């Protein structure tokens, strides 16, 4: 499955509008996020013609592995070579069942292996931030899809996993040249994640402080995790993830609606 260097990330709630044009512009993959069901992924495959579509991610607490495997098999039959199953544990604030996440992921992989038909390792991947989860992703899947991370985490993931496994971070961006307006948009997005322990703790591992993650995030943190500015400046920030070892980066433009076609056009001109 060839993802190319740059893809687009889209919340499943925002639908598949504009993705045919994104594909025609040259983006190499579509990532469907915000814990979709497998049924909710089908419209994204139907809206595009050839690019791979991946989940980023199916939540392991919400979708049993046998159900995920059955959905994967159905989509693989309907769209051969175009679907990969991204899974993850989400964050503890979202599930009362959130205990022993590493074991839960290991058990989920076991369930995908035991399903009939199973989900092949090369057609699945895992969200991972910490070292043990990264190791598991490399051991049991195609690789990892980190979310809400700076380039320093991408470098860490590549060093941890070595040259083989996929490292494909999500990169939220704001195409807005007014820094204050751009940071306002970025903070609205970041607020959800800075309140989650797994994301905030991960940022603390990479040089940010408790002060940085409070009150909507410091300018330093926001600028590092949600790059903004003119398309050329945003392209440099996305390229920093690739330079740090990412095989593929999926951009999530913010602030211009759920189908930001103008942002896709502007980013394609400088990234593709």
Q: What is the mean pLDDT of the chain?
A: 96
pLDDT surpasses 90 at 91: no
Domains along the chain with CATH numbers: 6-169+246-271 (3.20.20.30)
Q: What mean pLDDT comes out for the span 262-270?
A: 98
CB-count burial class (<10 Å; 0-12, 13-18, 19+) for 50: exposed
Confidence of residue 180 (pLDDT cuts 50, 70, 90): very high
b/e 219-247 (16+ beta carbons within 10 angstroms → b) = eebbbbbbbbbebeebbebbbbbbebbbb
pLDDT of residue 208: 97
Q: Output the six-digit token pair for 64.
A: 């049993």
Position 90 scores a pLDDT of: 83
pLDDT at 97: 64
Mean pLDDT to the nearest integer, 18-28: 98
pLDDT band at 93 (very low <50, low <70, confident <90, very high): low
Instruction: Pinpoint the alpha helices (H) of the chain.
Output: 19-25, 42-47, 65-78, 101-114, 131-140, 151-161, 179-194, 197-204, 210-213, 219-225, 231-243, 261-271
């Amino acid at each position: 499955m060839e993802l190319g260097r740059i893809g687009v990330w889209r919340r499943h709630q925002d639908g598949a509008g504009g993705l045919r044009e994104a594909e025609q512009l040259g983006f190499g993959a579509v990532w469907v996020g915000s814990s979709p069901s497998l049924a909710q992924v089908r419209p994204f495959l139907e809206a595009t013609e050839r690019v791979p579509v991946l989940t980023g991610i199916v939540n392991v607490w919400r979708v049993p592995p046998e159900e995920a495997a059955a959905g994967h098999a159905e989509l693989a039959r309907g769209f051969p070579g175009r679907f990969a199953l991204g899974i993850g544990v989400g964050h503890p604030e979202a599930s009362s069942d959130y205990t022993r996440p590493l074991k839960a992921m290991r058990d989920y992989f076991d369930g995908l292996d035991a399903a009939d038909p199973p989900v092949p390792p090369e057609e699945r991947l895992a969200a991972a931030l910490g070292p043990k989860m990264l190791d598991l992703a490399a051991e049991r899947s195609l690789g990892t899809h980190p979310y809400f991370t700076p380039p320093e985490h991408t470098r860490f993931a590549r060093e941890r996993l070595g040259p083989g496994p996929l490292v494909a971070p999500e990169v939220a961006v704001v195409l807005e040249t007014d820094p204050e307006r751009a940071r306002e948009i970025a903070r609205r997005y970041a607020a959800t994640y800075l309140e989650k322990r797994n994301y905030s703790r991960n940022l603390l591992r990479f040089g940010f402080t408790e002060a940085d993650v409070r009150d909507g995030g410091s300018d330093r943190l926001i600028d590092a995790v949600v790059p903004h500015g003119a398309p050329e400046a945003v392209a440099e920030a996305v390229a920093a993830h690739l330079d740090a070892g990412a095989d593929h980066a999926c951009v999530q433009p913010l602030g211009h609606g759920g189908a930001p076609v103008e942002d896709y056009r502007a980013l394609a001109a400088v990234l593709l």
